[in-house]
């Protein structure tokens, strides 16, 4: 006798835990109508700036069923990446905590493929694909629908236990599961993230204008940085954690225990002088497996010169 949906769902969550994920939930592979409307308006208002790829494959972006033939379910997972140590030298150029260790795209993708293999080998035969910020997919919306958290006013997914320093990933499969329910949004009247954003990129709750977002400007933006914001970057040269650092749900964030996410001591100990004298060889060595490579060496130098000026 084949296992029923409930049994299969429990086994998949157990398998996800055994592989190392900190959270796992399920939702239907359905059209995200409300999110589609929000995204369309956001794009029409040009909030994505020159991230033109976000305009592509709109139908797939808002409907995971279009990414896998016969798709019925989305398995959403997350990994905590909050570090045990952070950069703490005075006036040192700052990079986002998510880039301290190895590039999460590869780490989580490998774990997702292991989960998919384990499901097929031990639980049920399925056809599916793994995604880690690698396809037109509304990951935070799917994680919300899978009961892994709610989308905060800073646009990040917030899990009540782990906070928002978490990486997301998905398996879209052709098997029906027992689905989870979305959690209550517990942001309440708190607006600390909006108030803390130095460039006012969070123009209102849940709406981010990329034009002023430090994370966007230091990574995705390929041109000169806006001079009018030169005194607002707070020494940040890659990404930005400000709206997460002030979130009450991150006050009790626990350090992750994943070896690939541990920061290099060299990175944490770099002085201001060492940062501003970094050459291409040092950059390639220091960030060989890091997401910092996304901005490339020339981009990092641009950012360093900008915060120094």
Distance of CA 102 to the CA centre of its chain: 14
Kindly report, residue by residue over 147-198, the tens digit of the pLDDT. 999 999 999 999 999 999 999 999 999 999 999 999 999 999 999 999 999 9
What is the distance between the alpha carbons of residues 96 and 167, in angstroms, rounded to a whole number?
A: 13
pLDDT tens readout for residues 87-115: 988 899 999 999 999 999 999 999 999 99
Could you give the dihedral angle defined by the CA atoms of residues 95, 20, 29 and 158, in that order, rounded to the nearest 10 degrees?
A: -50
CATH number at 12 reads 3.40.109
Q: What's the CA gap between 104 and 21, in Å, rounded?
A: 13
- 124 close to 73: Cβ distance less than 8 angstroms: no
pLDDT of residue 59: 80
| One domain, residues 256 and 166 | no
pLDDT in tens, 130-145: 999 877 789 999 999 9
pTM given for the model: 0.94
Point out the residues that are catalytic: 133
- Tell me, yes or no, whether 132 and 247 share the same domain: no
* Token pair for 75: 């398995």
Residue at a domain's end among 173, 204, 231: 173
What are the start-end ranges of the E strands in the chain? Answer: 23-28, 73-80, 94-95, 128-131, 150-151, 157-158, 166-173, 202-204, 207-208, 236-238
Question: What pLDDT is attached to residue 1?
Answer: 45
If asked whether residues 166 and 196 sit together in one domain, one would say no
Check whether 49 has a pLDDT greater than 90.
Answer: no
User: Which domain, by its residues, includes 116?
Assistant: 5-84+98-173
Is 97 within 8 Å of 165 (Cβ atoms)? yes
Looking at the structure, tell me whether residues 57 and 114 fall in a common domain: yes
């Amino acid at each position: 006798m084949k296992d029923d949906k409930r049994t299969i769902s429990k086994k998949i969550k157990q398998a996800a835990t055994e592989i190392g994920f900190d959270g796992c939930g399920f939702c239907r592979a359905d059209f995200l109508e409300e999110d589609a409307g929000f995204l369309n308006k956001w794009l029409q208002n040009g909030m994505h700036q020159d991230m033109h790829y976000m305009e592509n494959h709109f139908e797939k972006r808002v409907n995971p069923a279009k990414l896998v033939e016969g798709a019925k379910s989305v398995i959403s997972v997350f990994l905590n990446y909050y570090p045990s140590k952070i950069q703490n030298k005075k006036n040192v150029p700052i990079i986002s905590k998510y880039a301290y260790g190895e590039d999460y795209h590869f780490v989580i993708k490998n774990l997702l493929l292991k989960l998919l293999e384990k499901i097929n080998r031990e639980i049920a035969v399925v056809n599916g694909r793994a995604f880690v910020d690698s396809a037109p997919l509304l990951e935070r919306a799917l994680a919300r629908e899978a009961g892994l958290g709610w989308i905060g006013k800073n646009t990040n997914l917030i899990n009540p236990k782990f906070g928002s320093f978490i990486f997301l990933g998905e398996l879209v499969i052709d098997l029906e599961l027992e689905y989870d329910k979305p959690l209550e949004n517990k942001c309440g009247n708190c607006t600390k993230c909006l108030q803390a954003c130095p460039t006012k990129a969070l123009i209102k709750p849940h709406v981010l204008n990329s034009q002023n977002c430090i994370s966007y400007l230091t990574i995705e933006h390929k041109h000169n940085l806006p001079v009018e914001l030169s005194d607002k970057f707070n020494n940040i040269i890659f990404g930005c954690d400000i709206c997460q650092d002030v979130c009450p749900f991150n006050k009790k964030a626990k350090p992750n225990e994943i070896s690939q996410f541990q920061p290099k001591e060299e990175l944490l100990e770099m002085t201001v002088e060492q940062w501003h004298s970094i050459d291409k060889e040092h950059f390639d060595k220091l960030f060989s497996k890091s997401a910092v490579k996304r901005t490339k060496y020339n981009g990092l130098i641009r950012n360093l010169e900008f915060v120094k000026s």
